[in-house]
Homo-oligomer: A and B are copies of this chain.
Amino acid sequence: MLSEDKNWFFEQHDAHTKFGIGFRSRIASEKSAYQQIDFYDTYDFGVIFALDGILMLTQRDEFIYHEMLVHPAMAVNPDIRRVLMIGGGDGCGVRELLRYPEIANIDVAEIDGRVVDLCRLHLPGADWALSSPKVSVHICDGVQFVREVSQPYDLIIVDSTDPVGVGAGLFSAGFYTDCLRALTPDGILINQHESPFYSGDAREMVRTHQKLRHVFPVCAVYQFHMPSYASGHWLFGFSSPSKRPLADAQFERWEALKITVRYYNTALHKGCFALPGYVQELLGD
C-alpha cells in the first residue's frame, strides 16, 4: 500500500485516493519477521511510524488515538487494576494507562519485538512507558496469550493493525470469545474498530461489530477525529459482559482524578457514542 515519490510518504486511502506527508529523512526501515517497519522524520507530523506502509501513529496526533483508547473505559470503571494491552508495542497506550496510579499491572502482548525496540529508539516520549515496573512486555502472539489467561483482567485493549496479515487473528470471533473469558465480570474490552467511510475499512468495521455482538452482552462503538488516519473518522469498540459505556460511567470520580488530557473529556465521552445515521445503518444497530 506504500508508494514513495521522492520525499513523500503516501498512504492509499481508497482505490484512487491518497494522503501524503513530506519527510526530511527516513529514520529507520526494516523488514521484521512479521512486517515492514518504517520511521520517518516529517515536516508537519514529527516522527511517523508505519507498518506495511500503513500509518500507525504520528507524533502530532497520536494523543487523540491513545487518549480515546484508554480514558473512556477508565471513566466507566475507575477501579480497573489489571490491564492487558494486545499490540501497542509503541508504548503510547501504556503511557495513558500509567496516568492512573491505581492501575497495578499492565501486561503487553506484542507479537513483534522489533516494533518495541524501534519505537523505544525512535519515538521520544513513549519509550519510558514500557520500562515502568508496573509493565510486563511479552513478545508473543496476542491470540495465543489471551487463550491462556488464568487470572482475569479488568480491561483488555486490542490496539491492533488492520485485519490483514499479522493483525488478522485479532479480528476473529474465536479471539473475542477468549477475550470475554479473560475478563472479570465487570471487565471491558476496547478494540481498534476501523472506520465507516472508505469501503474497505467499512467492511471490516461491520464484520468486527457483528462478531463482537455475538459474543458480548454489551457492545457499543464510539468515534473520534483522527486527522492522520483515512477519512479522519475512526472508531473504537467498547464491549463488556456487564458495564454500559454511558449508564455506568462514573464521571465525577473520573474528574476527581484530575488526569491531564488534551482530547478526551467527559462531555465528549457522552457525545462520542452518538454515531451518524449512515454508520448506525452499516453497523445494523
As for how many copies of this chain the complex holds, the number is 2
Q: Are B271 and A270 in contact (CB under 8 A)?
A: yes
User: In A191-248, which residues have CB < 8 Å from any B CB?
Assistant: 197-198, 223, 225-227, 231-233
| A44-B15 contact given A227-B197, A265-B276, CB 8 Å threshold | yes
Instruction: Decide if B20 touches A44 in the complex (CB within 8 Å).
Output: no
B277, A261: Cβ atoms under 8 Å? yes
Tell me the minimal C-beta distance from A107 to chain B in angstroms.
Answer: 29
Number of contacting residues on A, CB 8 A? 43
Give a binary string over A261-285; 1 marks a CB under 8 Å from any B CB, 0 the rest. 1111101101111111110110000
Asked whether, in the complex, the Cβ of B16 is within 8 Å of the Cβ of A43, the reply is yes
Asked if A163 is at the interface of the complex by the 8 Å CB criterion, the answer is no
CA–CA, A260 and B40, complex, Å: 45
Q: Which of A20, A232, A268, A281 has the most CB of B within 10 A?
A: A232
Q: Using a CB-CB cutoff of 8 Å, which residues 110-155 of chain A contact chain B? A: none
Task: Pick the contact of A64: B43, B225, B275, B276 (CB < 8 A).
Answer: B276
Which residues from B are CB-within-8-Å of A22? 15-17
- Chain B residue nearest to A224 (CB atoms) is B276
Q: Output the least CB separation between A20 and chain B (Å).
A: 5
- Write the nearest CB–CB distance from A276 to chain B, whole angstroms: 4
A–B complex contacts, Cβ < 8 Å, 13 sampled: A14-B44, A15-B44, A16-B42, A17-B20, A225-B232, A227-B232, A227-B233, A232-B232, A261-B277, A263-B277, A268-B276, A270-B271, A271-B271
